Amino acid sequence: MKKIKISLLGKVAIAIGLGILLGQFVPSAVARVFVTFNSLFGNFLSFSIPLIILGLVTPAIGELGKGAGKLLAVTALIAYMSTLFSGFFTFFSSAAVFPQILPEHTTLTALDDPGKQMLTSYFTVGMPPVMDIMTALLLSFVTGLGLSAINGTTLQNGFADFRNIIVKLIEKVIIPLLPLHIFGIFLNITVSGQVASIMSMFVKVIMVIFVLHIVLLLIQFSLAGLIGKRHPLILLKNMLPAYVTALGTQSSAATIPVTLRQALKNGVKETIAVFVVPLCATIHLAGSTMKIVACAMAIMYMLNEPVTLAEYSGFILMLGITMVAAPGVPGGAIMAALGLLESMLGFSETSLALMIALYIAMDSFGTACNVTGDGAIAVVVNRIAPRFTKR
């Protein structure tokens, strides 16, 4: 009998549903068992975040600079600017929309002061991280840039091995336990009596992000069409097979063959396409950035926390760099961003769990937006490449 494989999104959906259902009648003593697990898992996640940053960001930046020429630098800059545009476009759009659809009476008081309404764990175990998050980020940037500037490969290979360990940690420990963690969070929220507000937020945010990512793709391909002197809607239409494939695979890396084929169909030279598409699959995550910024803003609005451009500007700038560390696993981008959410926006353990659940619920749309946007960048680079490849 063939074993049925449930996707991460399916597991998260089941976890949310069971948490809401069982939270209606499960005794508090039983529910606190799962709250205790959440406490332990949350502490372990806090311990792991600096290691995740160090293990993913450092080798990614180091490898990006290996053999870097002008064209690589220009492509990376275009991808980064696209990611930043996505972040700020999402910020201003969400700032205009969310206050209207997430009114103050839906504020999550249970999350704002969980000690008053939510269950507490039976016990907790301290798991202090080896370094704070900002130290891990700075160390990753400095070491990664240093690795890209030197000829030696020993340290780069060492960090590549460390990255493999971190990816295994994410794939074999953190991701499998996430549904149980999310189940415990929603069980506790249901007991607190505020699950209706959260589910209403989920639906509204997902609808807003769906519309925003369509608008973002239209903007990207309008610019690509203007620079590449092609009809933007034809360019976008040709990339739809890559979009649909990414919806199913939830992986930019797995969609590379289709993205490459459709980029060639858009008139991109093969030498440019085989260079740009795999690179952008790693460093261009405009769709993922959009989801993270919008979800973070929604949660802060629901917690009645101030949302300011000054605060989010730094967050978006750092997020654009950190996104290059997103591994090729479902939910990898949110794993890489947890440190920034905690250190720069002050997210608590419960808020981080909600971010993960909300992000994974839209993982396919973000990946599809990422890879489709790669096609727009390929058209732009194809147009400007002669300026940087002349000898």
pLDDT at residue number 8: 67
Question: Count of CB atoms within 10 A of residue 169's CB?
Answer: 16
Is residue 216 pLDDT above 90, yes or no?
Answer: yes
Q: Hey, CA dihedral for 124, 54, 342, 197, is it positive or negative? A: negative
Instruction: Specify the 3-state DSSP secondary structure of 102.
Output: coil
3-state SS string over 314-335? Answer: HHHHHHHHHHHHCCCCCCHHHH
Residue 251 φ then ψ, to 5°: -145, 125
Cβ(181)–Cβ(73) below 8 Å: no
pLDDT at residue number 59: 82
In 3D space, the residue among 246, 276, 275, 271 whose CA is nearest the CA of residue 258 turns out to be 246
Is residue 113 pLDDT above 60, yes or no?
Answer: no
Is residue 108 pLDDT above 90, yes or no?
Answer: no
Cβ(335)–Cβ(174) below 8 Å: yes
Task: Extract the tokens encoding 134.
Answer: 């900002």
Average pLDDT over all residues of the chain = 81
In 3D space, the residue among 95, 97, 93, 75 whose CA is nearest the CA of residue 85 turns out to be 93
Is residue 112 pLDDT above 50, yes or no?
Answer: no
Instruction: Encode pLDDT of 121-134 as tens digits.
Output: 788 888 888 887 77
Q: Which residues contact 257 (CB under 8 A, 6 or more apart)?
A: none
Tell me which of 47-51, 79-83, 155-159 is least confident.
Answer: 47-51
Cβ(310)–Cβ(269) below 8 Å: no
| Helices and strands counted in the chain (H then E) | 19, 0
With cut-offs at 50, 70 and 90, classify the pLDDT of residue 105: very low
**Cα–Cα dist 91/93, whole Å:** 6
**Cα–Cα dist 35/307, whole Å:** 29
Instruction: Encode pLDDT of 337-388 as tens digits.
Output: 888 898 888 888 778 888 888 887 777 788 889 889 999 999 998 888 777 5
pLDDT at residue number 66: 55
Q: Which residues contact 85 (CB under 8 A, 6 or more apart)?
A: 219, 286
Is residue 87 pLDDT above 90, yes or no?
Answer: yes
